[in-house]
Structure 1
Amino acid sequence: MATIAAAPPAPLVDRPDPGLDLGALIGILRRRWQLIGAITLSVVLLATLTVYQLTPRYAAMSAVAVQTQKTQVVDIQDVVSDMAPDTATMETQASILRSSALMGKLIDRLKLDQDPEFNPAVEAAQGNFDLLKPASWFGERQQYKAPVEPLARARERTRITQRVRKAIEISVVPRSYVVEIRAISEDPEKAASMANSLADLYISDQIEAKYEATRRASGWLEERVAELRDQAVAADRAVELYRIQYGLVGGVSGGVDSQQLSEINSQLILARSERAAKEAQLSQVRQLVAGGGANIETSGAIIDSPLIQRLREQESEVVRKLAELQATYGERHPRIINATAELRDLRSKIGDEVRKIAASTANEVSVARAREGALSSSLSGLRGRVGASGQAEVRLRELQREADSTKTLYETFLNRYKETREQVDVQTADARIIAPADVPVNAAYPRKTLTVGLALLVGLIAGAALAFALEKLDNTVRGADLVERIGGGSVLTFVPIVSGKYENPEDVIIERPQSMVAESIRTLQGALSLIDVDDPPKVIMLTSSVPAEGKTFISTSLARVFAQSGKKVILVDADMRHPRLHKALELSNEAGLVQVLSGKGQLADVIRKDPKTEVQVLTAGVGAPNPADLLRSQRMEQLLGLLREHYDLVIVDTPPFVPMTDSQNVARLVDAMLLVVRWGETPAQVVTNTLRQVRKLGVPFTGTVLSQVDMDRHAQYGYGDYGYHYSKYGAYYGAKA
């Protein structure tokens, strides 16, 4: 038996996944566009139906500016100071706008507690029509009745307030002093009214808060002023009574004794000075008198005497005359004698006058000493009386200070009370409305166009994500590169799916010889012929990894193609467990390979002819007790040797290679083994396990055939094998079937 040494299958190498490039991503989108489109359309339709079922809501917005400067109506200090619009203050104002107090005022002003939008109990009481409630078919409009119990009323009020608060959005515009009020309602006019009313209530609340604070301050000041007035009067009365009691007049230090003490003390000081001056003058005069009148001009008292001055002038005149006479006459001349006598007389008078001045000065010294003694005696008496009244003055000064402090505090509170009373009716808010809300024209929710657009985007993303996920989860064999990567050798051909109406798909080779299916089988024929041109394989087996891979179809079609080319071909069905070859060729299976191998029949008797070609057929037969033993027997080897001698080509259709050993027993007897893999159905891991078993047994593995290939989808994967070109040039090969 001649055999052809076929190349062993490529080693199984776990190559890294090259990942998805741009072309691969586009290919996935092309292949899964129907799934992506279906998901996108579903999401868009669902979103559209949902959007158009929702009740439209309208949003109206008003804006309030917190003023950094306040209009000063009167030039007095406010009881409530102006706000400093920093971040904390702006957030505080926003919280005030969200407060339950303002929400309650808004509910009361617009009667939102009677509005079904915010109080579902009103709608229920009115008995609106409901198809599922027959009682509402003839319903009469009822008057809503608020709960009577306080707890029930409080709960209902809380629920209404919460709904109203949810319908109003308060936000502070960044880097500004503006607070925006956005009200949402089913009624556009109601939305505008809510926004404007809340802004107006906020302004009014500020004015009321200031008015109330000023009013309370004014009332407190009025009471405090009355108390301070009584205290001031009482303090003044205490000062005056104390002053009268102790005879303290003229102010805090105005006692009579104190004044006299001060005056006498001053007089005593002057008297002492005067006495000291007189004593000094007297001592000087006495020294001059004792000195004989020399240097008499040095005494102030003598110099100040008019008489002495005149005498001194006369003395000078006589001295001058005497000097002139002495120059003319002698010492005994009468005129010189008279002049000398006159000079002596003048000097005697001056001496007498000096002595008088000395006596007068002595008298003045005595008087000064007496006056000093009297003043000193008076001062001693007054000091005793003033010492007694000093303690009284201390207490008086204390009372006076208390009285002055009380009066100052009273005047301060009185002035502030008058200012505050003037402010009660003059209050301005620290905010103003800068943008009243207009009635919205378009609904803010739902935003139909945006929602549908987003749904379209979400649908596309979801569809693409699902497509990528399915692509990643798809571990089936779809291309020659994957077959080669897992060790499946070369892909000898791609057999397309048979389309069209045929009683048996195998007849496409005969009825449509120019079809892509027929061309793919001829491609396999050529590949087998080129394995060894000089000695091509004569015994070829076809197997698969799992059932329903298309082995029988390819075996039958390959045998018919070889027969059409003039070869003498026999087709053997070695799948004794699930034979199908006789059904494909419409032959009887009463006797076949089982009978030949078991010795119950002759080969010539069981061989049949294909009704439509010259192919000889050996069906599987029936009644095989143990197919593996028959295929492993010596008879099987002898049978194949006999067929090799009488036929140009023997094609053996075998069952799946694992887990049964039927195909493994046949593989050691053939020249070439082809592995049939169903495109897009057989997992790559299953094929890998089969190839591992093939390598382990060392059978003549030739290559792989991809069967039932969807050429259009295969082209979408962008593979560069010739299966890709089948789809592009299908018109060249004829009909796809």
Structure 2
Amino acid sequence: MTMVENVRNGLLVGASPREGQGERDPWFLDPREILRTMRLRWFAVLVPVLLCLGLAAAWMHLNPPQYAASTQILIDPRGLQVVKDGLTPPDQASDASLLLVDSQLRVLTSDDVLGRVVDRFDLTQDPEFRGRETLIGALKALVARFAGRTESPAEPRLTALRILRDRVGGRRLERSFVLELGVTSEDREKAARLASGIAETYLARDAAIRSETTRRAGEAIEGRLAELREALRQAEDKAQAFRAKRNLVGTRSQLVSEQQLTQLSEQLGAARAKALEAGSRMRQVESVLAGGRFDSANEIVTNPTITALRGQLAGVERLRADAEETLGKRHPSYQAAVVQEKALRGAIEAEIRRIAAASRNDFEAAQASAKILASTLERRKTEALKVGDDFVQLRELERQVEASRAVYEAFLVRARELQEQQRLDTSASRIISVASPPEKRIGPPMPVVVVAALVAGTGLGLVGALGLELLAGRVRSRRRLEGHLGRTGLDALPRAPRKAVTLKADPSARGDGPYEVALARLRHRLAAAEPWVKPLVVLVTAGDDRLGKSGLACSLALSAVADRERVILVDADPKGLLTRDLGAAAPRTLADLLRARAPLSDALVTLPSGLRVLPRPSDLPRDLAGIFAEALLRSDADLVVVDLGLVGGDVVTERLIAEERIPTLLLAVSARRGRVAAVDRALKAIGPSRRPRVVVTEADVRE
């Protein structure tokens, strides 16, 4: 996409955006600037790299390779249900079980278990567990020796235990009852042996503790058996003596008098029920005698004699009815039937009377029996009340006997169970993953350590180099200066050849190198900015690079001479670097020439190349600075290049910089020697009303 930029005196087609078109990132974030800084500050980068490599080598030497072996142990809180009642009840999965497993983890890594492992594997004779002499330890010992304090040597077993404790680690696997134990050592096989040894020692120690606990509990119970046996005997003797003294006869649960009262109560109830039943039967029979119906009394209905008589009476009544209907009432058959009917009814009534008499006798006998039982029960109650208080005391004594007997029997059974449980291992804990020699060492491999040291050293060196660059405040490149000033598109010149910046150089021998091309481009830009100004006066100054400024002025003049332009090079620098290079004096002093308003050509020195040079006068009065500017603008040259002094160096330089009739002002900044602070001071001194064109010299042509 073609872009068109409006400039003061024309149009530039295909130009790129210049100023105020977006902010740039800081220069130290630019990869090219970082590479440039590394090239310039290579020593600052190399020192941290070597230091980190040295630290890595020292670390690998002081820390021999370590290998970690691990084993896994299942801690089952429930245990084995070998007997019905164990010393410790079986636990179910709960938060308390997790706390129990965590407690067993502490036991697994306790000094009790680790100390037995130290003795089992004789770690006091192992060089790895004797403790190595470190630099810090040696220094402490030396200081203590000079201070007159001597410490007794540490016990080898405690030293081995401390080292083993530091190399052992355990944890409970998440959402499980599994403990994972890890041991580190300098030897693969040793790490596996120690891990297995600790696990086996823990399980053996756990079984031994369980057996010892069971044994102590059994001994404690057996020690109480004699006391409980004597207490039971005394309680039984006391209860028996009280029974004999009070003449209390009966079973453990009930006296004989209480048994009799119960039996009499039951018999009295049965007698009264029998009397009631007999009275009911008697009244039913008497109601039949009084004229009631036969079937109203069950006793009469179910009597076989009455049933037979009633059957005969029914037959005789049928005969009488037949005789009355067929023969009449006067017939002997009818009369005989009537006599038989009366006889049968009399027999039935006599049988009913007999049943009534029998019922009355049963009722009276039942009443008499109930009265006798009631009187007997009252007499027994009176006797029972007399022994009630004694029986209460007897029952209390018997309860004491039963309690003593129950405790004694429970202790006796428990003592026998514990004696047998000492020989049983009820633990369900076991090793579920046997430790094996590890294949890889702990930590990163040596190549990784070396690479990490290189990366860390390079990073530290790069940060240090960038920090030194920030502190130095050098310009270094056009891009860095553009980022600092917030202006893009600064002019830049590569490093000039040695013979290209001297007045004695032959312009016709100049080639088309990068420096010459950049000079021609700069000169054409200056001419395009002021196309109708003749002569074009270019002021060249700098903030701190005097040599680069003079070289830029000389190179611009020689480049224009090579293009066959009329050029005047004015040396207005108080140091007179171009005048010393010229080696010739002006035919007329500049002060006399300016006072006489004579042409500027009367004080010029013409070189064989055609370049005309105005040497630095020995003294130029300040009141002639304005006339000097007019003389420059009235010259007959196409291009006038004025080599000023440093900004703020002398009054003539400041007067010419402030001259509004001379619009073109170049501020030379050396990428190698220039400082950003000097550029800021120069721009501040020039002021915002005058905007110089910044030219970066000795820049990198690859930018």
Tell me the TM-score normalized by structure 1: 0.71
Which amino acid is the alignment partner of residue 498 of structure 1? A
Report deviation, 1:553: 1.4
Helix, strand or coil for the counterpart of 2:247?
Answer: coil
- What residue is the counterpart of 2:668 in the other structure? 676
Q: Are 1:703 and 2:701 counterparts?
A: no
2:103 is equivalent to residue 92 of structure 1: yes
Which residue of structure 2 lines up, in the alignment, with residue 734 of structure 1? none
Cα deviation 1:206-241 (Å, max 9, x = unaligned): 212322322222223333444444444444444433
Instruction: Find the counterpart in structure 1 of residue 655 from structure 2.
Output: 665
Q: Which deviates more from structure 2 when the two are superposed, residues 557-566 or residues 309-318?
A: 309-318
Question: Which sections of structure 2, spanning at least 5 residues, go unmatched?
Answer: 1-7, 10-17, 143-150
Please tell me whether the aligned partners of residues 309 and 348 of structure 2 are also in contact (alpha carbons under 8 angstroms). yes
CA distance in structure 1 between the partners assigned to 2:446 and 2:113 by the alignment: 33
Q: Residue type matched to 2:36 in 1?
A: R
CA offset at residue 503 of structure 1? 12
Contact 1:539 1:644 in 2 (8 A): no
Percent sequence identity is 25
Q: Would you say the 8 A contact 2:604–2:612 is kept in 1?
A: yes
Task: Note if contact 1:252-1:396 (Cα within 8 Å) is conserved in structure 2.
Answer: no
Hey, what's the Cα distance between the residues in 2 that align with 1:619 and 1:450? 67
1:652 equivalent to 2:650? Answer no
Q: Deviation at 1:663?
A: 0.8
Asked if the contact 1:62–1:180 (Cα under 8 Å) also holds between the matched residues in 2, the reply is: yes
Q: What amino acid is aligned across from residue 97 of structure 1 in structure 2?
A: L
Residues 405-445 of structure 1, C-alpha deviations (whole Å, 9 max, x = no match): 44334333333333322211212544322333334455425
Shift of 1:323: 10
What's the secondary structure of 2:85's corresponding residue? coil
Q: CA deviation at 1:64?
A: 1.9
Distance 1:422 1:147, change over 3 A: farther
Whole-Å separation in 1 of the counterparts to 2:82 and 2:673: 93
Structure 1 CA distance for aligned equivalents of residues 71 and 327 of structure 2: 130
Q: Cα deviations across residues 582-636 of structure 1 (Å, max 9, x unaligned)?
A: 333345799965797899xx999986555x64444443354x4xx6xx1x32377
1:31 aligns with 2:30: no
CA–CA separation in structure 1 for the residues paired with 2:449 and 2:201: 35
The equivalent of 2:386 in structure 1 is 388
Contact persistence 1:549–1:678 (CA under 8 A): no
Task: State the SS of the aligned residue for 1:77.
Answer: coil
1:388 Cα offset (Å): 0.9
User: 1:637–1:385: structure 2 CA closer, same or farther, 3 Å change rule?
Assistant: same
Post-superposition Cα deviations, 1:494-518, rounded to whole Å, max 9, x if no partner, equal 3322356x69866666696224334
The match for 1:62 is: 70
Q: Tell me how far apart the structure 2 counterparts of residues 448 and 565 of structure 1 sit (CA, whole Å).
A: 66
Aligned residue-pair number: 667
Matched with 1:690 is 682
Match of 2:448 in 1: 450
Q: Give CA deviations for 1:450-472 in whole Å, capped at 9, x if unaligned.
A: 21233344345545656776788
Aligned to 1:138: none
Counterpart mapping for 1:3-14 below 5 A: none
The whole-number CA distance in structure 1 between the counterparts of 2:121 and 2:685 is: 85
Contact kept, 8 Å, 2:327 with 2:334, in 1: the verdict is no
Output the CA distance in 1 between the equivalents of 2:152 and 2:125.
Answer: 13
1:340: how far off? 10
Q: Cα distance 1:582–1:248, how it changes in 2: closer, same or farther (>3 A)? A: same
Deviation of residue 448 (structure 1)? 0.9
For 1:82 and 1:382, locate their aligned partners in 2 and report how far apart those are by CA, in whole Å. 57
Per-residue CA deviations over 1:146-176 (Å, capped at 9, x if unaligned) read: 959xxx76xx876654433222222333344
What does 1:218-257 align with in structure 2 at a 5 Å threshold? 218-252=218-252, 254-257=254-257
Which residue is equivalent to 2:24? 18
* In structure 2, C-alpha distance between the alignment counterparts of 1:27 and 1:66, rounded to whole Å: 61
Q: Distance in 2 between matches of 1:274 and 1:223?
A: 64
- After superposition, the C-alpha distances for 1:161-205 in whole angstroms (9 at most, x for unaligned) are 443322222233334443322222334443333222222222223
Q: What are the superposed Cα offsets for residues 313-334 of structure 1, whole Å, 9 maximum, x if unpaired?
A: 999999999999999999899x
SS of alignment partner, residue 569 of structure 2: strand
Match of 2:616 among 601, 617, 620: 620
CA distance in 2, matches of 1:496, 1:117: 65
| TM-score, normalised by the number of residues in structure 2 | 0.73
Alpha-carbon separation, structure 1, partners of 2:59 and 2:663 = 69
* CA distance in 2: counterparts of 1:540 and 1:305, whole angstroms: 167
User: How far apart in 2 are the matches of 1:410 and 1:147?
Assistant: 58
Query: 1:294 offset after TM fit, Å?
Result: 11
Deviations 1:12-67 (A, max 9, x none): 98775233799x74434543454687478536633552354233232231212314
Tell me which moved more, 163-172 or 437-446. Answer: 437-446
The residue that corresponds to 1:418 in the other structure is 416
CA contact (8 A) 2:553 2:641 kept: yes
Residue 307 of structure 1, CA deviation: 10
Match of 1:544 among 542, 545, 548: 542
Counterpart for residue 82 of structure 2: 74
Shift in Å at residue 256 of structure 1? Answer: 3.5
Query: How does 1:135-534 map onto structure 2 within 5 Å?
Result: 161-252=161-252, 254-268=254-268, 374-440=372-438, 442-445=440-443, 447-459=445-457, 461-462=459-460, 476=475, 478-479=477-478, 486=485, 491=490, 494-498=492-496, 513-514=510-511, 515-532=513-530
Give 1:694 shift: 3.9
Q: Is the 8 A contact 1:94 1:179 kept in 2?
A: yes
* Structure 1 Cα separation of the partners of residues 682 and 186 of structure 2: 69
- Aligned mates of 1:324, 1:650 — CA distance in 2: 188
Tell me how far apart the structure 1 counterparts of residues 343 and 682 of structure 2 sit (CA, whole Å). Answer: 180
Give the aligned CA root-mean-square deviation in angstroms. Answer: 5.6
Q: Would the alpha carbon gap of residues 374 and 45 (structure 1) be closer, same or farther in structure 2, given more than 3 Å must change?
A: closer
User: In the alignment, is the contact (CA less than 8 A) between 2:79 and 2:427 conserved in 1?
Assistant: no
What residue is the counterpart of 1:731 in the other structure? none
Could you list the per-position Cα deviations for residues 525-566 of structure 1 after superposition, in whole angstroms to 9, with x for gaps in the alignment? 444555555653254332122343512212233333444555
Could you report, residue by residue, the CA deviation over 1:670-713 in whole angstroms, capped at 9, with x for unpaired residues? Answer: 57433222235545564455345545665xx77343222232xx
Partner Cα distance (1:201, 1:323) in 2: 120
- Do 2:74 and 2:432's aligned partners in 1 also have CA atoms closer than 8 Å? no
The letter of the residue matching 2:397 is L
Q: Specify whether residues 160 and 286 from structure 1 end up closer, same or farther in structure 2 by C-alpha distance, changes over 3 A only.
A: closer
Residue in structure 2 matching 1:110, options 104, 107, 121: 121
The secondary structure found in structure 1 opposite 2:387 is: helix
Greater relative CO (CA pairs within 8 A, separation 6+): 1
Shift of the 497–356 alpha-carbon distance from structure 1 to 2, 3 Å rule, reads: closer
Do 2:37 and 2:465's aligned partners in 1 also have CA atoms closer than 8 Å?
Answer: yes
CA distance in 2, matches of 1:251, 1:407: 17
Secondary structure of 1:655's aligned partner: strand
